[in-house]
Chain A
Amino acid sequence: MSTLRSRINPRSAESYESRFDYTALFEFSKVINSSLDLNFVLGHILLTIMGKILSSKGMVILRKTNCTFGIEMVKGFSSDLVGASLEIKHIPKSLFHLDKVDTKRHPWAKSLKHSGTKILLPLLTGEQLIGMLGFGERYSKKKLKSREETYLRSLANISATAIEKNRTICEVQQVNRKLDQKIQELNTLFDLGKEFGALLEPDKLVRLLVFSLLGQIGVSRYLICLKEGPDMKVVASRLDGPIPQGELLASLSKVTRPTLISDILVKHGTDSRDVLAGVGLRVIIPMEIQGKTKGLMVLGEKLSREKFSQADLEFLSSLANLAIISLENARLFKEAIEKQKLEDELMIAREIQKGLLPSVLPSIPRMNIAATNVSSKQVGGDYYDVIPTMGGKFIIAIGDVSGKGSPAALLMANLQATIRALVPFEFRLGDLTGRVNDLMCQNTGGIRFVTFFWGLVDPAALTLNYVNAGHNYPYLVHADGSVDRLEKGGMILGVIKTSEPYEEATIHLRPNDLLLLFTDGVSEAMNTESIEYGEERLEALLRAHTNTSAQEMIEEIHRDVQTFSKGAPQFDDLTMMALKVS
């Protein structure tokens, strides 16, 4: 301590000054290193040095890229200079006077000279030039002493280090903020992914999607539509005007990548661009599943009023695709439930139908009888019945209710109940048919109808009394291979109330006659080439088998139809009843 004191003579003005300088240097370093506000730091640097050299003008020039420098801050100079960019290839590494710079070789010096800059002080961190401090003329107009220059160089070094540190911290902060924003985006996707997975109501899904858009991007104008067939249906919107409709929206479904509305005009004509921009929209984000556009998010300006960046568009695409998958899942789920419902219903229908068809046919003297019903996947409303009546006669009946599933099955049940209720009455078959029709009309409300054939077989007299209400004409095949069709009757049942009585006919049955009742499931059975089995084929088969029993004939026909249809799925029940006279 004592040696130090003895070396620095307190009475010498120079050493007093230098002691002051060191203290000031220390203070200066403390101040500019304690703030993270670059503007404050730069301001303090300028003011300190301007005070030291007694100049009213100072500026900070910082390096932007390799050769490009920019004026970052001015004090005393015209504020227009801020932001000006300078192309500087080479400058001295220590303090220099601008007057001595050749403006022809260094064009950047020209504008600085023009603004009144006299002294330039390079800012170096090690060998790295990070910028310059520029100052106007000193009040005293005196040249800087070499001691002063040394001091300024110290200030510049401390400044350079502080500025560099400050900029690095700022960069880190910016990177951090960007990272935070990315994390926030991921959180949003995660948050929604979690929630979307649990939601099956499309309305709620859309609302959450909207909230996330509003929150994450801060848009206040939006239009969300989903594809429905060829159309786009608007499911949510907030716009500065009427909601765009119809063709305009449909035309947007061609958009396959995030597209700024200002770019869209080129491809799809100015019209849609202007309409969309007019209601405050800026960007279209398609909602895609496997490359197919299933919906659109059309969004307005961001809260920050910044343009949509590539990163924004990528985020929005992820959000859109996440949402559409969930919406699609919700739709498929709904469909699956409905399909299940339908299948349950068909199961019920099949049960009803099976329950109604006679499990065992009564035996009829002097005749053998057989019947079959093969229900299709969809369950048609086919019906057959054999009912013994008083006096040893038998009612045979076949019918085909229009439509499928349980409504058809229920109507069939209704028909059976009606027939069974009416059979004990000894009315003429034609009159009874009229009554059945009236009751059916009441029950169907005219939406459904039944083709129906029934007959009263008298095995003792070998007669058949019948009425055909619009049903496929049954065949009566004689032993010699000749064929009659049973056509007499009237209107199908269930359409309009009976006004004209149903015609009835009585035919005589001969030994070895075969009566075949069938539904269109037989004659209209399709093969894989969509060709119908047809009545010609059926008739030929019947003629070729005059010696078979009822049961054998039915099996023969069923086999032939199956061979013909080659396993093509059948959409109608296949129902037959055969009666063979011994």
Chain B
Amino acid sequence: MSDFKIEYRETENVNVLELKGYLDAHTAPKLEDALQSLLDKERYKIVVNCKHLSYISSAGLGVFMAFIEDVRNNAGDIKLTNMSPKVYNVFDLLGFPLLYEIFKDESEAINKFFEKKR
């Protein structure tokens, strides 16, 4: 059983998911459920903090892909932050930096949402 946890918090109307552990085909449904429940509540400003994410597989990345369109169609975004070099390498290999904004720090990503507003 791979270990994967999601912690949720809300900062200034931005929904932060903090991922911990292994995100692979086995645990991807957990992330799917978490994102789906945000969308169900019409929460589209999403920051995913990857500080404690130790591994991500293609299936894990696929979950972000599955939601990004719906989120952006609702004037929201999924922004990713605090990636370890190992995790970033996977994002980079698969060309994801083209599609997602990736920040060093969670607060940068949160601020970006408000910049847009102004």
Which A residues have a C-beta under 8 Å from some C-beta of B? 177, 180-181, 184, 187-188, 191-192, 194-196, 204, 207-208, 210-216, 218, 220, 238, 302-304
Least CB distance from B59 to A in Å reads: 4
Known: A188-B59, A211-B59. A218 touches B94 (CB 8 A): yes
In angstroms, Cα B60 to Cα A15, docked, is 66
The interface residues of chain B lying within 8 Å CB-to-CB of A304 are 95, 98
Say yes or no: is B15 at the interface (Cβ < 8 Å to chain A): no
Q: State the majority secondary structure of interface residues on B.
A: helix
Q: Quick one: which of A180, A194, A204, A215 contacts B58, CB cutoff 8 A? A: A215
Known: A212-B58, A216-B62, A303-B98. A195 touches B90 (CB 8 A): no
Say yes or no: is B78 at the interface (Cβ < 8 Å to chain A): no
For chain B, which range describes its interface: under 10, 10 to 19, 20 to 34, or 35 or more residues? 20 to 34
A215 touches B29 (CB 8 A): no
Beyond A181-B93, A214-B61, A220-B65, 18 additional contacts (C-beta under 8 Å) are A184-B93, A184-B94, A188-B57, A191-B25, A191-B57, A191-B59, A210-B62, A211-B58, A211-B60, A211-B65, A212-B25, A212-B62, A215-B60, A215-B62, A215-B65, A218-B96, A302-B95, A303-B95
Which B residues have a C-beta under 8 Å from some C-beta of A? 24-26, 28-29, 32, 57-66, 69, 89-90, 93-96, 98-99
CB-CB nearest in chain B for A208: B25
A208 touches B28 (CB 8 A): yes
In angstroms, Cα B56 to Cα A215, docked, is 10
- Give 4 closest A-B pairs by Cβ, nearest first: A211-B62, A215-B62, A215-B61, A214-B65
A194 touches B62 (CB 8 A): no
Query: Would you mind naming 16 contact pairs between A and B with Cβ atoms under 8 Å apart?
Result: A184-B93, A188-B58, A191-B58, A192-B25, A195-B59, A204-B29, A207-B29, A208-B25, A208-B59, A210-B62, A212-B59, A212-B62, A214-B62, A215-B58, A215-B61, A303-B98
In angstroms, Cα B32 to Cα A181, docked, is 25
Least CB distance from A319 to B in Å reads: 10
The interface residues of chain B lying within 8 Å CB-to-CB of A192 are 25, 59
Known: A191-B24, A208-B59, A303-B94. A218 touches B66 (CB 8 A): no
In angstroms, Cα B96 to Cα A302, docked, is 11
Least CB distance from B2 to A in Å reads: 10
Least CB distance from B115 to A in Å reads: 25
The interface residues of chain B lying within 8 Å CB-to-CB of A210 are 62, 66
